[in-house]
Structure 1
């Protein structure tokens, strides 16, 4: 019985005249025959084709960016998002996203917390004042104990004038502008266009969450506002959250 022996000494095979690889096991040696040229060229062509396919195929991201998908993928995401919206969001925002008093209309281009895909997904996932540490926490301060009724009335006239509901130059509007600058501009901005980092409303676009009549605005300034939205991150799957994000983004055109 022969004993297994491994050697790494290369030599020329006497029968074929071909050099070996130097590997020997139990008397068996491996000839160092080159691979067939047709096989090598086919192998290299497959590598080249694989690299081109990886770059061109739309489901794979490159190093610096993510893919944008295509119309079919967008339609599929919107369809799934529409179903999820009807099941979870429509009771507050309406079946078509038109909103209601105190519930934002998602069909316009007015975004309290930002309208990019990332911002919408953050809002849906973590909610607003919903007990999630990563959620939005904004609310409007009540000024009933800070301002007089006359000052609140003037501020309401000024806010309404920004949308053309009260003529500019009215005495109450001019006085309200001073009240606004001293108390409201810190959140809504001196130009009253709001601040999405705070969730403060753009007061110049003619879109009203609670109503545009003076009584409603006086009530808002006096008592403040504190909207709440559930956090859906632990209720819905990541795929459903993304589909909802795409659907809501397309309703209002996004940002």
Structure 2
């Protein structure tokens, strides 16, 4: 029978293990730690019974409390819908003009619309709706497809060049890349278009070039943008005579646009947002332009 060795310093029994002259003490687990481990195991066992826990093929044990996150979320959604019901019904039944004339409803539209816009539109158009490089500014008064609330709602619903069968469709041809215009013609018409929004750039030295560009414009661009270059909301052709540009209005960018073409894209939101949410967003976007003259 082995004789137990007692550590002379601590008075505890050693385990017989030794490393580099250091002997391991046979120290028991502290009672506090042991009680904590026992308590956590008891808690875990009880939790198995009161909360959804064990998977059972395609389902799971519901637990004595019969609660889970899905049920909690469903209850919160039901509460939120009940709280929204009064003004959602009003939005559904009233026309755009009636809502615009109702300060209380417009307050709800702006609060709710701001959140919807931030969640779904701000990634491209910015939190303030001012857009950015290659994305339209929604807070001005320049609209490609028309800026009335009903028109905005339709654009949100079907999108532009989207997968929706009723999508708005628009494309700027690549006049240079597809060799529809000669390089000299491309430069002349770009200079003409640039002069429409920058009339001071027209000088006696380039007046003949600008006139040559106008003739190219009338033959190739007026069908969409109009002979006056004011654009057409029917085909999504922008006004070329103002200072509002999606891709940039400097001469080089206009040349790039004419050469390579443009085809913007806006997704269809008809399957992701409810009709009420689309109506709220349309009114909210419309209000951005009204409040930013």
Q: Report the TM range for the smaller structure's normalisation.
A: 0.7 to 0.9
Q: Does 1:246 align with 2:280?
A: no
Per-residue CA deviation, residues 192-216 of structure 1 (Å, 9 max, x unaligned), is 0001010001001111111112111
Per-residue CA deviation, residues 210-238 of structure 1 (Å, 9 max, x unaligned), is 11121111110111100000111100111
Per-residue CA deviation, residues 118-173 of structure 1 (Å, 9 max, x unaligned), is 10000001100111111101111111111011101010110011012521662221
Name the residue aligned to 2:112. 80
Name the residue aligned to 1:89. 121
Change (3 A) 1:205 1:81: same
User: 1:65, CA displacement in angstroms?
Assistant: 10
**Aligned 8 A contact 2:133 2:246 in 1:** yes
Q: Does 1:161 align with 2:198?
A: no
Q: Does 1:191 align with 2:228?
A: yes
**Aligned 8 A contact 2:188 2:213 in 1:** yes
The RMSD of aligned alpha carbons is: 2.3
Structure 1 counterpart of 2:98, from 49, 54, 67: 67
**Aligned 8 A contact 1:93 1:105 in 2:** yes
Structure 2 counterpart of 1:132, from 164, 185, 189: 164
How many pairs align?
A: 196
**Aligned partners of 1:160 and 1:98: how far apart in 2?**
23
Change (3 A) 1:66 1:186: closer
Change (3 A) 1:66 1:216: closer
**Aligned partners of 2:96 and 2:159: how far apart in 1?**
28
The answer to which of 182-191 and 134-143 deviates more is 134-143
Structure with higher RCO (Cα < 8 A, 6+ apart): 1
**Aligned partners of 2:157 and 2:256: how far apart in 1?**
31
Change (3 A) 1:168 1:80: farther
Structure in which a larger fraction of residues adopt helix: 2
**Aligned 8 A contact 1:155 1:177 in 2:** yes
**Aligned 8 A contact 1:60 1:67 in 2:** no
User: 1:99, CA displacement in angstroms?
Assistant: 0.4
**Aligned partners of 1:60 and 1:175: how far apart in 2?**
53
Q: Does 1:152 align with 2:186?
A: yes
User: 1:253, CA displacement in angstroms?
Assistant: 2.4
Change (3 A) 1:237 1:157: same
Q: Which runs of 5+ in 2 are unaligned?
A: 1-89
Name the residue aligned to 1:236. 273
Q: Which runs of 5+ in 1 are unaligned?
A: 1-57
User: 1:60, CA displacement in angstroms?
Assistant: 11
Q: Does 1:218 align with 2:255?
A: yes
Q: Does 1:143 align with 2:178?
A: no
